[in-house]
Every structure is written in structure tokens, then in C-alpha cells.
Chain A
Amino acid sequence: MDLHRRDFFRVLGATGLTLAVGKELKAAPGPKASLEFRGVLYDAARCKGCRGCEYDCAEANGLPEPLPTKDIKGLRTTDDKHRTVVNEYKTSKGIVYAKMQCMHCNEPACASACLTQAMTKTKDGPVIWREDKCMGCRYCMVSCPFNIPKFEYHSANPKIEKCTMCFETRVKKGELPACVENCPNEALMFGTRRELIQEARRRIFEKPDLYYDQIYGEHEAGGTCWLYISPVPFKEIGLNTSVQNASYPALTKGFLYSVPSVFVLAPALLLGIQQATKKDNSTKPQDNE
């Protein structure tokens, strides 16, 4: 269903564009019925907060090494040097850790916001950024409900930094994302989204006392590829619980749908009014003097 909607956007936009610039575009991509997104399940009950994933991520993506734990004060967020961070939260059930990174939404707001398709949802699930297409408008940052894309403000050739689930370097070749592969506590699990949701349900069902009975990411923002289960309500571990459950690109749907109709109807209407209000030159030529 998700992919159908994206395809529909594409067809619709192409129609509007064809009307606008009169250029022919091939609108409809082929059928993609047998698709399954891949994602990662993060189990906050298993994470011991070693921050090994932060170091692995930095190494795999050529980013500077993160600060040692003793130098860290307070909560951190991802930024243009850190694609993932693990924070420590004092919760109703003691200390719980939470890893933050891109959620890889099923219907990403950032990709739908991107006017150059630099930010794009791959068929496999990861949302990636492509340097050669991006114009640095930062509309993805405005749109992302999780505030994930980060921008290099102090560079003459700035990039957008965000987790790509190691798509180009590892996942494409059948390897695991760097953080998943090296997690010593098996807090991270890679798989198809369907498998991960089943696994999460199994864990919650088997240990109902340990887990809070909900999977974060199952419905949030229309569903995400990165899923969370936790011993405490998600608000306590800093996850954004104010996101809506429906998809974010759908918020601009109504506006974008109206574009082709306006493009056809408005000129016709305007021409009609113009014809109706103009003075008829042929019947009263003497009025022109």
C-alpha cells in the first residue's frame, strides 16, 4: 500500500509537470508487489550502553571518533559529525539506554520533500542521501519529524549527514550494518520489517513484565524501518512520541492533487472572464477614438 501511494505521487506530479512544461515524461514505474523493506530492531532492554555502535559507525562512515564516555555530559543528539548517539536515561525502571539515528520511515518526509531526489528511499528500505544531486536547501531538515538530517554549516561544500543503514557500503553486498554487526549484547537485529515485528512481539509476549507493550515504529510516521522495544514508555527514553501515526508526505497530498486541476481549470476560466468583459471592437468601432 505504501509503495502504491508513492507511485501515485509520482504519476500525479509527472502529470502536473507535463501540463506545466509540455514535456513528455514516462510516468508509471513497473509493479513492485513483492517488496519487503529491511530494517533494524533495537531492544533497549538488552542495550548496556557500551557505545560500541557509535565507534563502529564513525569508523565505517569516515567520521571523527566520538568522545569517550567520561567526557559526556547530559543528553546528546546526532549532528553533522555523529550519525548515531546512545544516551543514558534515568527512568522509572532505573537506567535505560537508547540509541538514536535515522528511523528510515516507510514513507519518508525527507525524500518526499527533496526536489532533486537526493534524499531517496531505496527499494530495500534504507533512506539514503546522494551528494551529486543535493542542492543543500535543507527542506529535508524542515520536514523530518525526527529531526534527523544534519547539515555541515561550516563547510564551503557542505553535506547532509544522516544514518544510511550502511546501504551503499555493506547492506547492498549482503553484509550487516556496522552497528548491528558489532553489537556485543545483541541489542540490534537486522532483518525484514515483517520478521522484526514478529520477533519484537515474541519478546514482548514471552516477557510481559520486562517490556512496555508497544513497538515504537510500527505505526509512528506511517511506520518506520527502525523499530524499538523498551522496558519503559518511549517518552522516558527520549523518543519523539508526538509524531503522528499517519504518513507525513500525505500531509501535502491535498495540495499537490489540486495542482493539475488548477493548471487546467484556471487558464480556461481566466480566458473566459477576459472574453466576457472585453469591449467588442467590431460592433462599435467609433468608441476607440
Chain B
Amino acid sequence: MNSGHLISADNDGKSIWKFLFRQMKPKGRWLTPFNIISIPIIFLGIGLIVIRFWKGIGAITNLSQDVPWGLWIGFDVVTGVAFAGGAYVITFMVYILNMKKYHSIVRVTVLNGFLAYLFYAGALLLDLGRPWNVINPIIGNNFGVSSVLFLVAWHFLLYMIAQLIEFSPAIAEWLGARRAHKILSGMTLAAVIFGITLSMLHQSGLGALFLMAKEKIHPLWYSEFIPILFLVSSIFAGLSMVIFEGSISQRVFSEQISDKHREEHHSIMHGLSKICTGAMFAYFFLQLLVLVHGKHWDLLNTPMGRWYLLEMIGFVLVPMVLYFYSYRANNVFLIRLAAILTMVGVILNRLNVTVIGFKWDMAVHYVPSWMEIVVTLTVLFTEIWIFRWVINRLPVLRESPKWVNEDKLTDKPALAKKIQRA
């Protein structure tokens, strides 16, 4: 299909390149606090990335022969993907369970998820020693199918495609491509079903990566249930991120949001806090079962044990109760507080499995270098820049153009007629 032709035709014959060029230009004020902080860090980070490819990973990281995976895997990839879990949960609620109430946050959540995968998979390339071979498990005859990482790599790729399809109607609306919009919207359900299946497998797969490191991870965090714990926690991690991001977007992009959406937002937050309460209760109970099953009571009264209790009580049980209470008391502030505590808890959990609890008994512990942190921030800030660029141009938070609804209305009577005739 010649989509380029379609787009230009739909755009009243204006050149698509001129249109894209005009859209590339920055909008709005330049000297915002976010820009002042993020621009120097991004430039510093790019410099560090050049050094990394020039002198090797050891030049800017504190990784060692004992600790092969540090902040870039533990935080950027493993934690980032957990936070991106909101996309599969929200699409499940809207397209599978047909909970129309949440429809207005689908696009922003999918965009957030897609960018998270794009950038965190991109951050993975920085961590690969030989990134030019990254295509080996995708093409050729080097399928290491007994590897959990093989599954995760394929799922990242496929899920990014699925999310792009889920998001593509917004791109078609931006470009004014009416026919492409119709075709792409028709693919949404298939992409959603495929995407949820992939998410279930790779959210748990990220936990399964560590199953072979049996003696290396502290027994309070290692169990054969890591995959299921990762999957369940990705539900409330993702939804807490949706609440957090939604609260910020409501203010930062307030001129884009219609009054109707603003009213819906509180009701959506309450619904999500209810779901989080349920998911966190299931998660807490599972963790309790794993603890009882593992018979590690004696370890609770060690430094690592107290750290474990802080994670489980301070950042799972407390935010769970907060979510429950805020839902009952109809308190938006408490919902936001609970979301932030939950996110801290998820970061702690992922880092405890991947970095802090990994070879916890070593004499010298891994602490990320400042350069690793700057590169992580670079990835994060670049993602936010792209996110902001897209929000300011595409119909993500704001309403779709009028022709979308016209197309829907013209379709439906025709459909109804067809059915009546049959």
C-alpha cells in the first residue's frame, strides 16, 4: 500500500515532508526548569557514552568480574520494564474487559510504555559488550532457545511492534491519513491480545533470568517464584506509574486536556487505586507464602533481613493500606502518595534481586559510579523529551480530530444495515 501517497492526498496535497519539518520545530518556552536541568545532563551523558564505546564498559562503570550486571540492567531495564507494565494492564481493561471509563488514558499509557521499551532496550545496547552482534538471536541460525534471555529479547522486539500498532491510529490522526487510520484501528484488538500475552511472559521472564543465579542472590529474594512475583508486581508497578504520570500530565499539559477528561481523571484514579489494592494484596500474600515456604525466618534478624522487612512492610504493605484507605476516603492526595511509595517499593525490589542482593556476601560491594547514574538520567531525560514532543503534537491527551468521529458514525449505520439485511 502506498501510504505516502495516501497521507499527502489526505493532507490537501501539502507535501508530507514540509509538514514533518514544520512539526520538528520546538514549541513553547525554552528556559523551563526541566530544560535547564536536563540539557547539560544529556550532553554530559552523550560524552560518557562516546567514552564507553571508545574505551570499553569498564571505563565508566563500576562493573566487575563478580558483578556483571549493575545499574543499567537492574534499574534501566528490569525496573523500567516493570513500570511500563501499565500499558498491558490498561489495554486489557479497555479492550478486553471493555471498561470504557479508562479509554481516555489508553493512548498516553501506550505511548509511555512504547517509549519506555524503546529507551530501555536502547539502554541495553549500551550495556552489551558486543552490540553489533545483537541481531544474532533475531536472524541467522543462532537461536539460543534454551535461554530465558532469548525469550525476553524476542518479546521486547515483538511487544514494541505491538505497541506501535496500538498507538498508530494517533499517528494517522496527526498526519491526517483517514484511510490508514481505518486500517490501523482495525488492527488494535489483535495487537492488544498479542501484546498482553507477550507482556505476561516477559514481565515474568525478567524474573526468570535470575533463576540460575541460585546461590548468588540472597535467599530472602531468591525463590523459584521470582517469575510470578515479577508478573504480579508489574501490575501495580505499571498502574502506579500511570497514576504518577497522569498526575503530572494533568498539570504540565493542562491546556491540552478537555474538561470532560479532567472530570474523568479523578474517577479513573480511584478505579486504579482499587485495582492496585487488590494486586498488592495478592503480591504481599504471595511474598508471605514464599517466606514461609523458604523457612528463612532466622535471616530476618540480620541487616539484609531488616532491609527485606523495610521493603515488604514500608513499601508494599503501607502503600497497599494507603491505596485502600484513599479509595474509601476519596482522597486524591493519598492516592498519589501511595503511588510514589509503591514505585519506590518496586525500585527497591528490582534492585534487591538484581544488584543489592546479588552476591550480597562479597567483601566489596558494587556501587554504581556517578557516570553510570548520569547515563541512566540521560536515557530517562531523553525519553521525557520525546514524550513531551509527541504529547505536544499528536492527539494523545487532547481529543482526536473531528473526522475520526465522522468516520465512525458513517460506518455504523452501514454496518447496522448490513446486519439487518442478513
Contact = CB atoms under 8 A, between A and B. Distances in A.
Interface of A: 6, 9-10, 12-14, 16-17, 20-21, 25, 77, 79-80, 109, 111-118, 132-139, 141-143, 145, 147, 150-158, 242-244, 248-249, 251-252, 254-256, 259, 262-263, 266-267, 270-271, 273-274, 277-279, 281-282, 285, 288
B44 interface: no
A246 B63 CA distance: 29
Contacts of A157: 130
A142 B69 contact: yes
B56 to A, nearest CB: 5
B66 interface: yes
Contacts of A17: 143, 145, 154
Contact of B142 (A133, A155, A266, A270): A133
Contacts of A117: 142-144
B130 A267 contact: no
Given A133-B142, A270-B197, A113 B212 contact: yes
A18 to B, nearest CB: 10
B415 A281 contact: yes
B230 to A, nearest CB: 11
A36 B415 CA distance: 68
A251 B226 CA distance: 12
Given A135-B133, A137-B127, A267-B194, 8 more contacts: A14-B143, A114-B147, A143-B212, A154-B55, A154-B59, A267-B197, A281-B416, A285-B416
Nearest to A147: B66
Interface stretch (B28-36, B172-180, B202-210): B202-210
A255 B147 contact: no
Contact of A14 (B65, B145, B158): B145
A163 B227 CA distance: 32
Contacts of B130: 134-136, 157-158
Interface stretch (B95-103, B248-256, B324-332, B374-382): B95-103
Nearest to B157: A21
Contact of A143 (B96, B98, B213): B213
B227 A255 contact: yes
Nearest to A274: B96
B53 A141 contact: no
A242 B222 CA distance: 15
Interface in B103-158: 127-131, 133-134, 136-137, 142-151, 153-154, 158
A13 B193 contact: no
A158 B361 CA distance: 28
Contacts, number: 193
Given A142-B213, A267-B193, A112 B205 contact: no
A13 B137 CA distance: 13
- Cβ-closest 4 pairs across A and B: A136-B129, A13-B145, A153-B58, A136-B130
A222 to B, nearest CB: 12
B201 to A, nearest CB: 6
Contacts of B17: none
Nearest to B189: A274
B286 interface: no
Nearest to B354: A142
Nearest to B142: A116
Nearest to A17: B145
Given A134-B130, A138-B68, A267-B193, A252 B148 contact: yes
Interface residues of B, number: 66
11 contacts: A13-B145, A17-B143, A20-B154, A115-B153, A132-B133, A135-B128, A143-B213, A251-B211, A255-B205, A256-B146, A274-B189
A114 B216 CA distance: 18
B54 interface: yes
B339 interface: no
Interface in B59-86: 59, 61, 63-66, 68-69
A111 B130 CA distance: 17
Contact of A262 (B56, B201, B419): B201
Given A147-B66, A266-B197, A273-B97, A155 B56 contact: yes
B56 A153 contact: yes
Contacts of B149: 113, 115, 137, 139
Interface in B225-267: 227
Contacts of B57: 153, 158
Contact of B145 (A9, A270, A277, A279): A9
B214 interface: yes
B317 interface: no
A83 B188 CA distance: 53
A155 to B, nearest CB: 5
B410 to A, nearest CB: 12
With a 10 A CB-CB cut-off, give which of A6, A117, A157 has the most chain B CB atoms: A117
A12 B92 CA distance: 28
Contacts of B59: 154
Given A21-B154, A77-B65, A136 B133 contact: yes
B215 interface: yes
Contacts of B89: none
Interface string B392-422: 0000000000000000000011011001000
A279 B55 CA distance: 60
Contact of A248 (B194, B200, B208, B214): B214
A82 to B, nearest CB: 11
Contact of A16 (B64, B151, B415): B151
With a 10 A CB-CB cut-off, give which of A137, A154, A277 has the most chain B CB atoms: A137
A14 B143 CA distance: 9
